[in-house]
Chain A
Amino acid sequence: MRRVFVNEEWCLGCHLCEYHCANANMGGVTAQDMVRNLRGKKIHPRIRVEDGADGGKINFAVQCRHCYDPMCVKSCIAGALTVEDGVVTHNPDKCVGCFTCVLTCPYGCVMPDGDGKVVQKCELCLRNKVGAPACAEHCPNRAIVYEERGTL
């Protein structure tokens, strides 16, 4: 299965991935969609860039790793988190916003959504209109890649 991998050596800390993520998960695809979706709003991306590691030199983006043994799925009290063809998927309709997954995700990649009433997480853009991870597609330096890296 293809997954998103982040190579911090090439991350520029530009934060473009966050904006493309936010746009994609608000149903947007194009630059015009981004204007309509994000202008004048605080964004709630599912990928987040951490700046300034190792004395400020290193930046990197983090989003759901789609674990083979996902703690969030195993601890979800509502059955709202499931694994669909390897993709850790969230059903906001079933989610009650207890945040147990926020408590258990080792990467800190399941997070309250913009309203704070349910959680959200990366689903590799497979269920939005972009269809493949927007972060990887728009990363200007191939720091974020969407690829197969062998099996365990």
Chain B
Amino acid sequence: MEQGKIYLSPEHEVVRDNDKCIRCQVCERQCANKVHSYDADIDKMLACDENCVNCQRCVSLCPTHALKIRRCENRFRENNNWNETKIRELYLQANSGGVMLGAMGTPLDYPTYWDHMLINASQVTNPSIDPLREPMETRTFLGKKNQKPERDANGKIITKFKSPQIELDVPVMFSAMSYGSISYNAHESLARAATELGTCYNTGEGGLHEDFYKYGPNTIVQVASGRFGVHGDYLMAGAAIEIKMGQGAKPGIGGHLPGRKVGPDVSRTRMIPEGSDAISPAPHHDIYSIEDLRQLVYSLKEATAYTKPVIVKISAVHNVAAIASGIARSGADIIAIDGFKGGTGAAPSRIRDNVGIPIEVALAAVDARLREEGIRDNVSVVIGGSIHSSSDVVKAIALGADAVYIGTASLLALGCHLCRSCHLNKCNWGIATQEPDLVKRLNPDWGYKRLVNLVSAWKHEIMEMMGGMGINSIEALRGNHLMLRGVGLNEKELELLGIKHAGENI
């Protein structure tokens, strides 16, 4: 219900240095938002600022560096209570009557606990390890571990896992992002990179495109509340099956892929009619309890002859530890926890920005709870939602994680400039779009290499940091809270994270 118009100044303005501009019109050809245009009469490039989402495509491609995008300097009267964003969003809602939508993780200034934890290193009394000269194991296995050592008939210790596992060469996986929310070429990049890196990517709720079955051993196939694209071959195709109960960016609500993104390929992959909205309900309508969850876990295990580990993914919410305890008892092999800063292709802004808890405290709480209850080895724990760097990975493992998911970081590697406009289907970088002329802007031949580069670089850094601590395997780092110290954290935060403050001895 639109009620008149209200003038809002553009959020961004295009600043063009006309002394540098050579009128090549590359900006015009590359902007899907139709910001730039050439006016032959005055021989000048013009800009429609109100269309700009600040994705930096034009800035990046301008061959003479004549462009920059600036925050519009026009401001409402200064007010620390009613700030610019709040007023602007209020106006927009008064105008449209609609829910505010946003994409990617929350841009708000919540604390990032990773940045308040410091990593230990060896000095004198214990040797550090040089990963270039000595063995350093970054391989890890995800899944239910054998509860106690057992011996075979000859008295030899059985080293084989009794439950199916995911084997990772590096404890970094690519988070669930559906084909539909991201493009075919983005998916191909992720799939090829995961294969080369010896890790996994995740289909998200979009099903698995027929071209990508060949990457199955490095694919985690997701089953979510809409059950889109789920069938027997799909479940058998992957290295593991993930039941998505929640997503960090939008805990408690479902998903919505607009019909305009459901083209022939997406339609076939999701098994829904072309052009129809793909709506994932907020809950799984068959899951109202841990017992119900157990039924789905075992249905999936049954369907795949107990050959695939089952992951249950939840968002980090207030009572996450208790929920995780339930999941660990449900028969699931792996728990994935998504922090509230995690990304999304589209979410109501209010939910994204206000619901959930930080992943660092969620992880510490879950790890502590599972240990207390003696069921930590029932499951592996994977976390995601704001892993920015290799040091975040090391801190997460020391805090109790078996591996991490990276979503936003992987998209950045593919060229994403975090304009947070995924929901508009006009991604100028060819990632979050289904428009063929935009999709082809992401050439997977180099996209996958950039992902491989990123994770390989992180792997090197992880080995360096582990070596510094005198630790030579992921297993020896996992849950090793002594390797972390807090800075600038209060008693409660330190207690919840289970770490000491910098300067405290053991």
Q: Is there direct touching of A and B in the complex, by C-beta distance under 8 Å? A: yes
Q: Are B22 and A14 in contact (CB under 8 A)?
A: no
Does chain A have a CB within 8 A of B116? Answer: no
Known contacts A20-B63, A31-B64, A57-B437, A143 near B443 by CB under 8 Å:
yes
Q: Write out the residue numbers on chain B whose beta carbons fall within 8 Å of the beta carbon of A5.
A: none
Q: Are A16 and B64 in contact (CB under 8 A)?
A: no
Give, as a whole number of angstroms, the nearest-CB distance from A7 to chain B: 8
Q: How far is the CA of A23 from the CA of B63 in the complex (A)?
A: 10
Interface segment, B24-32, B199-207, B274-282, B351-359? B24-32
Q: Write out the residue numbers on chain B whose beta carbons fall within 8 Å of the beta carbon of A141.
A: 440-443, 446
Does chain A have a CB within 8 A of B214? Answer: no
Interface segment, A32-40, A74-82, A92-100, A119-127? A32-40
Q: Write out the residue numbers on chain A whose beta carbons fall within 8 Å of the beta carbon of B29.
A: 12-15
Minimum CB distance partner of A143 in chain B: B443
Contact among A10, A19, A57, A142 with B24 in the assembled complex (CB-CB below 8 Å): A19
Known contacts A15-B25, A15-B29, A39-B22, A138 near B63 by CB under 8 Å:
yes
Interface residues of B in 46-97 (CB under 8 A from A): 60-61, 63-66
Q: Are A9 and B440 in contact (CB under 8 A)?
A: yes
Does chain B have a CB within 8 A of A140? Answer: yes
Give, as a whole number of angstroms, the nearest-CB distance from A88 to chain B: 27
Q: Are A34 and B22 in contact (CB under 8 A)?
A: yes
Interface residues of B in 1-60 (CB under 8 A from A): 19-22, 24-26, 29-30, 60
| Interface residue tally on A, bucketed by range | 20 to 34
Q: Write out the residue numbers on chain B whose beta carbons fall within 8 Å of the beta carbon of A138.
A: 63
Q: Write out the residue numbers on chain A whose beta carbons fall within 8 Å of the beta carbon of B443.
A: 10, 141-143
Give, as a whole number of angstroms, the nearest-CB distance from A128 to chain B: 16
B-facing mask of A21-32, CB < 8 A → 1, else 0? 001000000011
Q: Are A34 and B30 in contact (CB under 8 A)?
A: no
Does chain A have a CB within 8 A of B445? Answer: yes
Give, as a whole number of angstroms, the nearest-CB distance from A25 to chain B: 15
| Interface residue tally on B, bucketed by range | 20 to 34
Q: How far is the CA of A34 from the CA of B24 in the complex (A)?
A: 11
Q: Write out the residue numbers on chain B whose beta carbons fall within 8 Å of the beta carbon of A40.
A: 22
Known contacts A140-B61, A141-B441, A35 near B22 by CB under 8 Å:
yes
Q: Are B64 and A15 in contact (CB under 8 A)?
A: no
Q: How far is the CA of A70 from the CA of B441 in the complex (A)?
A: 34
Give, as a whole number of angstroms, the nearest-CB distance from B430 to chain A: 8
Q: Write out the residue numbers on chain A whose beta carbons fall within 8 Å of the beta carbon of B24.
A: 15-16, 19, 38
Does chain A have a CB within 8 A of B436? Answer: yes
Minimum CB distance partner of A145 in chain B: B445
Q: Are A35 and B61 in contact (CB under 8 A)?
A: no
Contact among A14, A34, A57, A142 with B61 in the assembled complex (CB-CB below 8 Å): A14
Minimum CB distance partner of A39 in chain B: B22
Q: How far is the CA of A12 from the CA of B443 in the complex (A)?
A: 10
Interface residues of A in 42-64 (CB under 8 A from B): 57
Interface residues of B in 330-365 (CB under 8 A from A): none
Q: Write out the residue numbers on chain A whose beta carbons fall within 8 Å of the beta carbon of B64.
A: 31-32, 34-35
Q: How far is the CA of A31 from the CA of B60 in the complex (A)?
A: 13
Give, as a whole number of angstroms, the nearest-CB distance from B440 to chain A: 6
Q: Write out the residue numbers on chain B whose beta carbons fall within 8 Å of the beta carbon of A39.
A: 19-22
Q: Are A19 and B63 in contact (CB under 8 A)?
A: yes
B-facing mask of A108-145, CB < 8 A → 1, else 0? 00000000000000000000000000000010111100
Q: How far is the CA of A67 from the CA of B203 in the complex (A)?
A: 45
Question: Which A-B residue pairs are the 8 nearest by beta carbons?
Answer: A10-B443, A38-B22, A141-B443, A31-B64, A39-B22, A19-B24, A35-B64, A14-B26
User: B-contacting residues of A (Cβ < 8 Å)?
Assistant: 9-10, 12-16, 19-20, 23, 31-32, 34-35, 38-40, 57, 138, 140-143
Contacts A15-B26, A138-B63, A141-B443 aside, 4 further interface pairs with beta carbons under 8 A come to A31-B65, A35-B20, A38-B22, A142-B443
